[in-house]
Structure 1
Amino acid sequence: MATTENQHYDVLIIGAGPIGLACGIEAQQAGKSYVIIEKGTLVNSLYNYPVFMTFFSTSERLEIGGVPFVSINPKPNRNEALEYYRRVTEKFQLNVRLFEEVLHCQKQGSAFHVQTSKASYEADNVIIATGFYDVPNLMNIPGEDLPKVIHYYKDPHYYAFSKVLVVGANNSSVDVALETFRKGAEVTMVIRGNEMGPNVKYWVRPDIENRIKEGAIKAYFESNLKEIKPHSAVITTPEGEVEIENDFVAAMTGYQPNFKFLEKLGVTLDECKVPHYNPETMESNLAGLYLAGVVCGGMDTHKWFIENSRVHAEQIMKDIKAKT
């Protein structure tokens, strides 16, 4: 869709993930003019999930706009979710601008002035629904910038018959370890604690634990990655340092919201990077600027999910309607 300069909207939504789309639906149903700005593709974070990922939630808990989410199994996979949110976007004919990055957003008087990579906008209200998948948690160790180090994982075939070192003990780490192992990779895991993470999917946990127990996947518990070299990596273990050969390092150390972007907008963050907002209205410390979804949790990215933050869209629109 072509854009023109200085378009004015009642609501401008940053992020076209499930919660951003839900906010657009609520704005549309409230009779408000709106636009959804997304720097990548539709539901960009979900698109960048591993190809064979299965959600922990059941399909009905991922629904937005009252549109049924029908999946083959109770827990849908990534491709089914992409299809679902694409069809929701089509059904409501949502006003989405894709591959358009927000560069500046500043409130002047009663309106927000937003400059993107493609156009300029004005809006009475802005909703930040940018999720948390853009910024990986870095280990800050020597060699982390080597080409063989990945923080995002897509498809296991690429790592077939390679030596893969996986850092972490949660769902993303377990998925990488099991999927690459089954494509012929020699997999080693480095785990900070003495067991797998508490949030590992219950149907996957026995699989990874049995593979480790039988020795098919090597695991160093209570250990940390100290240094990454071009063809090896140094691990600190309870028994001392160990250096092992590897071709790839999958640093599945988690992700965080773009805090610099929030601060640039004028959102106040506490010591745990949790943004200031009213839990009843989701309005931030800046009047007219709202927060929705995972971005509300700060560093605790396990607090908010699609299923428990869909209500943010309703809360926000209720407040906007009450003001106008």
Structure 2
Amino acid sequence: MKVNQFDIIIVGGGPIGIACALECKKRGWSYVVIEKGALTNSLFNYPKNMTFFSTSEKLEIDDIPFISNNPKPNRDEALEYYRRVTTSNQLNMHLFETVLAIEKTKPNEFSIKTDKSTYFSKYTIVCTGFYDIPKMLDIPGENLKKVTHYYKEAHQYALQDVLVVGASNSAVDAALEIWRKGGRVTMVIRGESIGERVKYWVRPDIINRIEEGSITAYFNAFIKEIKEQEVVIDTVNEEIIIPNDFVIALTGYLPNFKLLESSGIKLSKDGKNRPYYDAETMVSNVEGLYLAGVVCGGNETHKWFIENSRVHARRIAKHLETLSI
């Protein structure tokens, strides 16, 4: 047997990766989870005050109870839950290790190259999520230090002119939090209204703040250019230049399509980049290579989330039970 040889290698240490590891452990299969950041890295990088849309029982994995102070848990409670699940079950995790390539070298062997080592497995599960590659604006000034595609907390934006790009949950949460901490907030929104998928208890709040003038919002608008002390906004009627200290561009994120394609996984040609997989077994077009979680949606990153993709782990395990491991 080769060094670093496992029955199954799981790429991605988020909630779905943890769920897959639990299924492997219950069946006595040798496995390792390889995660390029911290445990549940995407959740760790969520805004500190984020509250989930799902209730706690919908975020549970392997029927392990998730008890939270409120029906809808926050980021810190989720981090605690998934950390406890991982540590109490002594799951085999390799953190802060980036997978560079996945290659099927033989009918029943994969070679997984990372920035630290090379691993071999009979089967591979990819559940890498999407939070690490932001959708870029592709405009002048986007590389300035004052521009970010992630939002953590509001304090640093107090007393500053802040432009928030987007109308999703993350953009709305950022705009409201920064305004309540004393920031002067302007929103630039591509559509004609706040997104319909914004949390139902938050959507009226942002609409009211906009209508009363506490937060300025430009609908059907785009940022044309970002400068050191101002931004240029292209609206339906005119071009507007406003003072600016920070730009928070929360326009969405994408899966690592390069890793998928280099692994041999086919993506749809309809612009949605949906990877091919069998909905019953979760196996991709590459035999022995499975997909699970948000990555299954391609560009449609809102399609899959913890609540409705945690079943992927059991589907994969059920199919693997029919094979020779």
Larger mean Cα displacement after TM superposition, 122-131 or 262-271: 262-271
For residue 319 of structure 1, what is the aligned residue in structure 2? 319
User: Contact between 1:157 and 1:183, CA under 8 Å: does it hold in 2?
Assistant: yes
Is 1:173 the counterpart of 2:171? The answer is: yes
| 1: CA distance, partners of 2:215 / 2:310 | 38
In the alignment of these two chains, the number of paired residues is: 320
Q: How does 1:29-178 map to 2 (within 5 A)?
A: 29-109=26-106, 110-178=108-176
Is 1:274 the counterpart of 2:274? The answer is: yes
For residue 192 of structure 2, what is the aligned residue in structure 1? 194
Aligned-residue offset at 1:114? 1.4
Q: Helix, strand or coil: the match of 1:322?
A: coil
Aligned-residue offset at 1:131? 0.2
Aligned-residue offset at 1:121? 1.2
Aligned-residue offset at 1:80? 0.2
For residue 242 of structure 1, what is the aligned residue in structure 2? 240
Q: Helix, strand or coil: the match of 1:323?
A: coil
Aligned-residue offset at 1:146? 1.1
Q: Helix, strand or coil: the match of 2:316?
A: helix
Q: Helix, strand or coil: the match of 1:143?
A: coil
What letter is aligned with 2:85? Answer: V
User: Contact between 1:38 and 1:101, CA under 8 Å: does it hold in 2?
Assistant: yes
| 1: CA distance, partners of 2:318 / 2:240 | 57
Q: Residue deviations 1:209-237, cap 9 Å, x none?
A: 11111101011111111111111111111
User: Contact between 2:175 and 2:187, CA under 8 Å: does it hold in 1?
Assistant: yes
Aligned-residue offset at 1:119? 2.2
Aligned-residue offset at 1:143? 1.0
What letter is aligned with 2:67? Answer: V
User: Contact between 1:160 and 1:185, CA under 8 Å: does it hold in 2?
Assistant: yes
User: Contact between 1:161 and 1:186, CA under 8 Å: does it hold in 2?
Assistant: yes
Percent identity between the two aligned chains: 59
What letter is aligned with 1:36? Answer: V
Aligned-residue offset at 1:104? 2.3
Aligned-residue offset at 1:257? 0.4
**Structure 1: 5+ residue runs without aligned partners?**
none
| 1: CA distance, partners of 2:150 / 2:283 | 32
| 2: CA distance, partners of 1:223 / 1:38 | 38
What letter is aligned with 1:126? Answer: T
Aligned-residue offset at 1:6? 2.5
Q: How does 1:176-255 map to 2 (within 5 A)?
A: 176-255=174-253
For residue 287 of structure 1, what is the aligned residue in structure 2? 287
| 2: CA distance, partners of 1:7 / 1:276 | 28
User: Contact between 2:14 and 2:40, CA under 8 Å: does it hold in 1?
Assistant: yes
Normalised to the residue count of structure 2, the TM-score between the two structures is 0.97
Q: Helix, strand or coil: the match of 2:233?
A: strand
**Structure 2: 5+ residue runs without aligned partners?**
none
| 2: CA distance, partners of 1:108 / 1:190 | 48
For residue 297 of structure 1, what is the aligned residue in structure 2? 297
| 1: CA distance, partners of 2:97 / 2:25 | 21
Aligned-residue offset at 1:118? 2.1
User: Contact between 1:58 and 1:75, CA under 8 Å: does it hold in 2?
Assistant: yes
User: Please, what is the CA RMSD of the aligned residues?
Assistant: 0.9
